[in-house]
Amino acid sequence: MFLHTHPYKPFLFPEATKLIVGTLPPPRFTMRDLKKGDVDFCYGSRDGQLWSILDRIFKLDLKFETTDEAIRQRMDFLKDKKIGICDIVESAERAKIDASDLGMNNIKLRNLVGYLKELPNVDTLLFTGGNSKNGPEYFFRKHLKTFNLGLNLVSDKIPRIYSFMLPDTQRTIKTVSLTAPSGAANRAVGSMEAYKKYKKENPDFNTLDFRILQYKAFF
């Protein structure tokens, strides 16, 4: 059994107004066996699309390589845009060493509510995935239940938007369940009516283009 621990601490700072919330990076980041093109930072997998999406939206000219400069570029961007990162999974066990969310067992969650109480300016959580089993929204709902809380629907249009009242405060925090920035979610994107509409209007439109449009509205 492989113990898949999160290799990065939450990237948090007092000025943050939004937090990106995912689950775990691929096991090779925990094993310190990165591939060419990986960045040794949150969402740094060469197979993921988050930084490619943000690179296109903000014209960042990011480097996609295992260097300190690539890390610095991402940290500078996040601080400039007041965006933190706090993946919700601290660790999980895997019978098979892969990046599948469904392959996680005996999962230990981070106390995201606790972090939020220490970050007075955060008003939005950006989930890198919806409420499918072992996705970030799914785990956050379980986390909220320990405080006898749930998410209240704000908009049922994809990406779905919810809100909740942070315990012991008067703060209402919004959550946005973005389409996952992974190749595994491309089939789901292809079945969406909104995507089909864009594709019909422009045959060159692809699943990355769709995510760029979606993410741009919330980043």
pLDDT at 44: 97
d(CA 145, CA 205): 40
d(CA 11, CA 42): 8
pLDDT at 187: 82
AA letter at 155: S
Handedness of CA 167, 143, 215, 43 (dihedral sign): positive
- Cβ atoms within 10 Å of 143's Cβ, excluding its own: 17
Q: How many residues does the chain have?
A: 219
- Name the residue among 105, 88, 114 with its Cα closest to residue 169: 114
pLDDT at 160: 96
Q: Mean pLDDT, 10 residues at a time, over the chain (219 residues)? A: 96 98 96 97 96 97 98 98 98 91 93 97 96 94 96 95 94 96 84 90 93 96
User: What percent helix, strand, coil does the chain show, rounded to 5?
Assistant: 35, 20, 45
Q: How far is CA 107 from the centre of its chain?
A: 17
pLDDT at 207: 92
Q: What is the reported pTM?
A: 0.95
